[in-house]
């Protein structure tokens, strides 16, 4: 069973890769870049994934384009809805690629994160699969959250401090005003 795994970063890939291989899947990764800002941060995450994937003998398709402008255009005036749009863009792109590459299914490391909207990702994954004509493999990888996190620390892997887009970077670092 060939599965295309959308991989948001190296640390989030550790546990899903382990689980899927245990289940007998032949896993190939897909690194999507448009939502990771700025470009230097994107390159840092990609480098960490390249190093990890090589050590695990996992093949990965690395997106060549970097459409920051296109990403921002989709979000303007819809900032509050941005994660829904971002999930769909990432999962639908993965689904189409999986279909074209004749994979049996596709999935995402987003299902590993405790910081993401898990139910929404599951819904959007299923919808993207339906639209592209390929099954979405749903699994709650959050059960391995500690395992994955501890291994990434052990391996001294680069661990990012915000989700990806410039909006999330602001939310992480801009001092929040407290009510007087
Ligand atoms: S916070 Fe994360 S999921 Fe939401 S739009 Fe930004 S990169 Fe995408």
Residue 179 domain-assigned? no
Residue 48 domain-assigned? yes
Q: How many percent of the chain have pLDDT more than 70?
A: 98
Phi, psi of 59 (to 5 degrees): -80, 140
Residue whose CA lies nearest to ligand 1 atom number 1: 168
The chain-wide mean pLDDT, for the chain, equals 97
| pLDDT-derived band at 178, boundaries 50, 70, 90 | low
- Overall average pLDDT of the 143-155 stretch: 97
Q: How do 2-6 and 105-108 pair as beta strands?
A: parallel
Q: Residue 97 Cα, ligand 1 centroid: separation in angstroms? A: 21
**Atom from ligand 1 closest to the CA of residue 87:** 3
Q: Residue 176 Cα, ligand 1 centroid: separation in angstroms? A: 19
In this predicted structure, what is the pLDDT of residue 163? 97
Give the range of the structural domain holding residue 124, as residue numbers without chain letter: 2-173
In this predicted structure, what is the pLDDT of residue 111? 98
Does residue 86 line the site of ligand 1, with CB under 6 A? yes
Phi, psi of 83 (to 5 degrees): -70, -35
3-state secondary structure of 67: coil
**Atom from ligand 1 closest to the CA of residue 90:** 8
Which CATH number goes with the domain that contains 44? 3.40.50.620
- Give residue-wise pLDDT tens across range 112-123: 999 999 999 999
Residue whose CA lies nearest to ligand 1 atom number 4: 83
Residue 64 domain-assigned? yes
Does residue 108 line the site of ligand 1, with CB under 6 A? no
- Overall average pLDDT of the 82-95 stretch: 98
Residue 178 domain-assigned? no
| pLDDT-derived band at 110, boundaries 50, 70, 90 | very high
* CA dist., res. 145 & res. 111, Å (int): 10
- Give residue-wise pLDDT tens across range 3-39: 999 999 999 999 999 999 999 999 999 999 999 999 9
Does residue 168 line the site of ligand 1, with CB under 6 A? yes
Q: Residue 92 Cα, ligand 1 centroid: separation in angstroms? A: 15
Number of folded domains that form the chain: 1
Is-above-0.75 flag for pTM? yes
* CA dist., res. 27 & res. 29, Å (int): 7
- Give residue-wise pLDDT tens across range 30-48: 999 999 999 999 999 999 9
Token couple for 81: 């809805």
* CA dist., res. 153 & res. 156, Å (int): 5
Predicted confidence (pLDDT) at residue 180 exceeds the cutoff of 60: no
């Amino acid at each position: 069973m060939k599965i295309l795994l959308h991989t948001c970063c190296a640390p989030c890939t550790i546990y899903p890769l382990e689980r899927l291989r245990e289940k007998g899947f032949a896993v190939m990764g897909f690194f999507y870049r448009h939502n990771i800002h700025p470009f230097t941060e994107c390159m840092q995450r990609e480098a960490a994934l390249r190093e990890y994937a090589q050590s695990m003998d996992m093949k990965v398709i690395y997106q060549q384009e970097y459409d920051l402008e296109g990403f921002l255009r989709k979000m303007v005036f819809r900032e509050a809805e941005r994660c829904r749009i971002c999930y769909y863009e990432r999962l639908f792109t993965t689904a189409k690629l999986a279909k074209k590459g004749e994979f049996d299914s596709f999935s995402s490391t987003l299902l590993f994160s405790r910081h993401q909207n898990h139910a929404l990702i599951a819904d959007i994954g299923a919808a993207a699969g339906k639209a592209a004509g390929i099954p979405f493999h749903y699994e709650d990888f959050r059960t391995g959250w500690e395992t994955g996190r501890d291994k990434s620390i052990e391996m001294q892997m680069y661990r990012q401090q915000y989700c990806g887009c410039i909006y999330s970077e602001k939310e992480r670092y801009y001092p929040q005003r407290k009510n007087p």
